[in-house]
Structure 1
Amino acid sequence: MPALTLILDDLMPFADFGSTAEEGDGSFSLYRNGLLTEVVPTEAGYIVRTPQEPEQLLKNAGALLASSRFADLGRIAQNQAVVLGAVRMRSSPVPITSELKQVAGSVPDFIATAEPWKALDSWLQNLEQTKQEDSIDLLLIDGPAGVGKTTIVREAALLRAESYDGSLPLIVQIVSRGRVLQNISDLIAFALQDVRANLTIRELMVLIRHGLITLAIDGFDELSDPNGFQTAWSGLNTLFEGARGVATILLAGRETFISTQTIQRQLTSFRPTNDRLSSLSLSDPYPEAARAWLLNQPGWNADLLTLDFVEPIFVSKSYALRPFFLDVIAREPDALRDSEPPASDLLTYLVDVMSRREAQKFFESLDPPNGNEAIKVYGEYVGRFLEEVARDLAENQTDALADDALDLLATVAANGLLPDDQIPAVVQRARTIVFLANDVQPGHVRFAHEQLQQHF
């Protein structure tokens, strides 16, 4: 990847509040963290001088901007590794299928691997080697809800953070987090806050332009929401113009909402002569691959795969072939031995199966005196509690709840349904329900998947 030449506009955002960067006599100067900082371009790189600190020579503009005296990307990488490491993928991934299409410009081939985030990381590395200046590389990652778009981008970001040495850009993933996706700048600010990055959006744009950070906009399909369609596309066009240099931007969304044709039509800032556009389409695993994967999971065997209520999972286009639901199913083989008839649709059936399993877990941990009757009550409680959580998230346009708010909703759902002496234990147990997962924000919980939130 070509290293860009440092210009005054690159340093302006890094000047202390109320001050500015200046250029003169072959050097730049600015106040940074209260210190007068001089940057001198030389044939060997950039010399940085500050009072009472040793002179530093950095090989190019990227190394200068990434250094501890400016963006301090090493510290941001450490923070990312901590935050994303808490929600890393720990089980073997479901074998999804993928296909890369070149839309505008020539890009490297995509070589699929068992861990798709490693394949994405390798492809991005190869892409870096073929960049040209004054350009943007755009990759649209599309696929149905639950196929793993968010997970793949998050795991690739974690991979970069844990191995960061300055040679490859970090990946910053921004998500809507339940808000209407209109103001991209706000979402970027939230993402920077999540990893405790002491960066402004203007500073981030400089880093993206120099190829030091790859921006990944997750939930990109929400740009087509009629409440914010024009505003969002306008914001995206502004972002692209500001990032032009050697930038890479990933756009992830559902294939039914967004397409490369829409991007080319709406992104008036896209320049076919310089920019490249490609799409990575993710799909559910083939039924045979899903069977083989389940057989390798604890508690599964060939007999279980042929049961009446398990066989429909492997019908082509089945909702249960989505990696998220396959992963949930894999952890609960005993729950699918149930002989009760399925609900009207597969998603509802899977939710019902898992709800009954959760009710059984409440019974086992609390050991109430009224036996099977208690299991039915616990099942009703699980549904009522998750409905309260989904309603609260929707009303507040967010996708995560603080632990204390979750405890309050768990208490509200239990009142009038469960005996008072059971409520504290039930509230404590409610946090571990399979439908919920820890959020990247410490002390927050979210639905394990957006389709579950919509269901409840």
Structure 2
Amino acid sequence: MQLEFINGPAGKIIEHRRNGAGSRTHVSYRALLASGAFSDLRLWADHQKTVLRDTLKNVDGRIPVEGVLSGTGDTLDIDALDDRLVPGNCSDPSIRVMLIDGPAGIGKTRFIESLAAARADRFLTTRRPLVLHVQSRGRILTFLQDLIAFSLQRLRLTVTFDQLPVLVRHGLVTLAIDGFDELGDPNGYDLAWGQVNELVTQIRGAGTLILAGRETFIGRERVSKQITSLGQHDALEALSLQPPDPDDAKAWLRANHWSQDDIASADALFDRGSYALRPFFLVQLGRPGVSSTIRELAAGHPLAFLIEMMIEREAGKFGGPLDSVLSVEQRRHFVRSLLREIARHMADDQTEAIDEVTIAWLVEIAAPEDLDPESLALLKNRAAVVAFLENDDAPRYRRFAHAQLLNFFLAEVTIDTISSDEVPKFIRRNILGADFLAALSDLVLDAAASDTARVHEFFRAASRTARIYLSVDRGARNLGAMLMTVLPAMNVGSDLRLDGIAVDESLIQGTAPEAVIANAAINQLDVQDADLRGITFEEDCWIGTLIVDETTRVSPSCPVPDRIRRQGVGAGEDSVLEDYEERTDWLDRHGRMQPTAQQDDAGLVPNDLRNDELVMLLERACRNRAYWIPKDKDNDDQFARFVGNPRWFDLLDLLREHDLIREEQLSSKGRTSNFVHIKRRTEILAADPKDTQIQDFYSSLVETIRSHDRRA
């Protein structure tokens, strides 16, 4: 093939084919690249439609996901994002970077896949850039090109990884890197950022790059600092995916055979921020027969409940031959054990997929020892189709249907192995991200309500191992991160001290008990919706980035971090505080400086009452991760801080008066107990004076405290 350029590189191009096969005229170099002689984008679109049709076949009917655009506050769905990402007409070579962030389960991957499918479906009419979806797949990053090559092979294209930047640079393909926050190596994220910098340089022109990851990692400020190759003509935007509104989720469930009574009985699942509002888990709730089991939800976290619900359903699908030799409890145990083994195998191998042969081998480990060969063969067949797993892109490989399922079972494995003084390979070599730590936190907080000894043994064993750990790998840093994460699950009054820990990132959810952290170096600490007033920071403690929201409370000894990243701020507000005075002012207003009665009262609770016992009890109850709290005295140590408090029933009376409480009799531990659920917990903690119901509640709270003090 020979090319003839008419009027220079910017003019028409005549493609002269070999062996007298004729010629073809292309209106531009860009049109030549898109033609069948080079990338053949029409064939690309056809292949992509076929692949994504199978991938997205189970997504039809899901509640749609939308995102909020930083800076403007505009709400974008798939079609609106499609329009926004159309290449502009900037005369200077530039690049557009779109960040898509959100918590686990919000639907980031499906959002990108839906965008790719929409572009492929409409390619012949719109000619908009096709989307190449590149996923981390749980691997330690070696070369970004390897992941790009796998994505191209999945589509069975002749385009190679080294040709792709040319197509992106000319606005023919949009590159979407999904799970960028997972692309760490044993030395952190330097290699990942370095390769993205190189990629940005290669695609500068009319290129568009999408980076997707969790909201605490992917942020405009961090990206603008790390991708130094971005220039003044480049566009950098962030789209934060939002969970469905609780009312929309309930309407969706009603359309999927839930009755109004079912909705009412599951009301506790639909608080803002609940896992039940995230599309994958909402679909699980919408499956036939699930609504009838909802009333069994008692004290515990929704993620744990949702997974128990899925295990229960799976245990009922083994079939008659296996039902006759395995009890329901044995079937439940097998499902859980198998999924734990699969999760550990994936984490040890740093992958998110496992082949069917290995699954069959793991069945032999998880199955009862005395099981006969015929039943074992049936179990192996059943294991390949459990609802927790789905087909991977690679033939005869399986993966978890959702990353947070993997994290949950991996957290279970972690608790048991560390408690046995074993440090598994994935703890020694991987970076434990926020999604795993969130699953660990939810698991230990749920376990603390029923098996306090298990949680305490894990904390003691992890502390013991961290003190004597000498290996030069990530083990000690990961142990430190987990110890901080499980602090809220420990009993009040325990002698808790963390000394000399170094942590990549950690998170604390709920209310931390009294504890001491000394000589600690913490690169990133997520304390959204957390109360750290019980933690004393001693000696030389350093925090790089502190991730907070308006409900966060810190202790007077909290060190000033290098930066504070505020989540949930309004459009146009600065989400990152780096000025020293701004950082100290924020910390002072959120607990570091004790307010005095002489200072101006800025909230619904006067300064002199902010540390009142009833106010502190309210905040602890609202931060509690369990959706149901025992109303009366209970044997659970986890709830003793509530039901054992002499002001507990005063608080319940106040909440009941303002319709901020729901009371139910539920089955728990084989007996029926009285439980309460506090409504609008996030709004109560935020104490917005513009919210009439919350304002009236706090007025009554203040009057109750004043009356109690006068009587005393």
| TM-score normalized by the length of structure 1 | 0.82
Which of 359, 380, 394 is the equivalent residue of 1:427? 380
1:413 has 2:366 as partner: yes
1:121 has 2:82 as partner: yes
Which of 303, 309, 321 is the equivalent residue of 2:277? 321
Q: CA 1:430–1:343 in 2, change beyond 3 Å: closer, same or farther?
A: farther
1:253 has 2:213 as partner: yes
1:220–1:252 contact (8 Å) kept in structure 2: yes
1:369 has 2:324 as partner: yes
Aligned to 1:29: none
Which of 42, 58, 67 is the equivalent residue of 2:35? 67
Secondary structure of 1:407's partner? helix
Q: CA 1:386–1:434 in 2, change beyond 3 Å: closer, same or farther?
A: same
Q: CA deviation at 1:95?
A: 4.0
1:78 has 2:34 as partner: no
Q: CA deviation at 1:411?
A: 4.1
Kindly report structure 1 stretches of 4+ aligned residues shifted beyond 6 Å: none
Q: How does 1:332-411 map to 2 (within 5 A)?
A: 332-334=288-290, 337=293, 340=296, 342=298, 344-362=300-318, 364=319, 366=321, 368-369=323-324, 374-411=327-364
2:97–2:209 contact (8 Å) kept in structure 1: yes
- Find the aligned partners of 1:48 and 1:366 in 2 and give their Cα distance: 67
Q: CA 1:247–1:454 in 2, change beyond 3 Å: closer, same or farther?
A: same
1:55 has 2:23 as partner: yes
Secondary structure of 2:55's partner? coil
Higher alpha-carbon deviation: 412-421 or 202-211? 412-421
Secondary structure of 1:331's partner? coil
Calculate the aligned-residue CA RMSD, in Å.
Answer: 2.3
- Find the aligned partners of 1:410 and 1:335 in 2 and give their Cα distance: 31
- Find the aligned partners of 1:78 and 1:95 in 2 and give their Cα distance: 25
Q: How does 1:153-302 map to 2 (within 5 A)?
A: 153-165=112-124, 167-181=127-141, 183-223=143-183, 227-272=187-232, 274-297=233-256, 299-302=257-260
Q: CA deviation at 1:377?
A: 1.1
Match for 1:328: what amino acid? Q
- Find the aligned partners of 1:225 and 1:312 in 2 and give their Cα distance: 40
Match for 2:384: what amino acid? R
- Find the aligned partners of 2:293 and 2:407 in 1 and give their Cα distance: 27
Q: CA deviation at 1:348?
A: 1.3
Runs of 5+ unmatched residues, structure 1: 1-35, 104-108
Q: How does 1:86-97 map to 2 (within 5 A)?
A: 86-88=54-56, 89-97=58-66
Question: Sequence identity, in percent?
Answer: 37
Aligned to 2:5: 40
Secondary structure of 1:239's partner? helix
Q: CA deviation at 1:44?
A: 5.9
1:176–1:187 contact (8 Å) kept in structure 2: yes
- Find the aligned partners of 1:395 and 1:117 in 2 and give their Cα distance: 36
2:134–2:178 contact (8 Å) kept in structure 1: yes
2:3–2:13 contact (8 Å) kept in structure 1: no
Q: Bigger relative contact order, structure 1 or 2, given CA contacts below 8 A and separation 6+? A: 1
Aligned to 1:15: none
2:95–2:209 contact (8 Å) kept in structure 1: yes
2:258–2:291 contact (8 Å) kept in structure 1: no
Which of 97, 100, 105 is the equivalent residue of 2:69? 100
- Find the aligned partners of 2:246 and 2:255 in 1 and give their Cα distance: 15
1:377–1:417 contact (8 Å) kept in structure 2: no
Secondary structure of 2:163's partner? helix
Q: CA deviation at 1:40?
A: 2.4
Q: CA deviation at 1:289?
A: 1.4
Q: CA deviation at 1:302?
A: 0.8
Aligned to 2:514: none
Q: CA 1:164–1:442 in 2, change beyond 3 Å: closer, same or farther?
A: farther
- Find the aligned partners of 1:365 and 1:295 in 2 and give their Cα distance: 33
- Find the aligned partners of 1:314 and 1:393 in 2 and give their Cα distance: 32
- Find the aligned partners of 2:183 and 2:356 in 1 and give their Cα distance: 30
Runs of 5+ unmatched residues, structure 2: 410-712
Q: How does 1:301-320 map to 2 (within 5 A)?
A: 301-307=259-265, 310-320=266-276
- Number of aligned residues: 404
- Find the aligned partners of 1:242 and 1:338 in 2 and give their Cα distance: 53
Q: CA deviation at 1:129?
A: 4.4
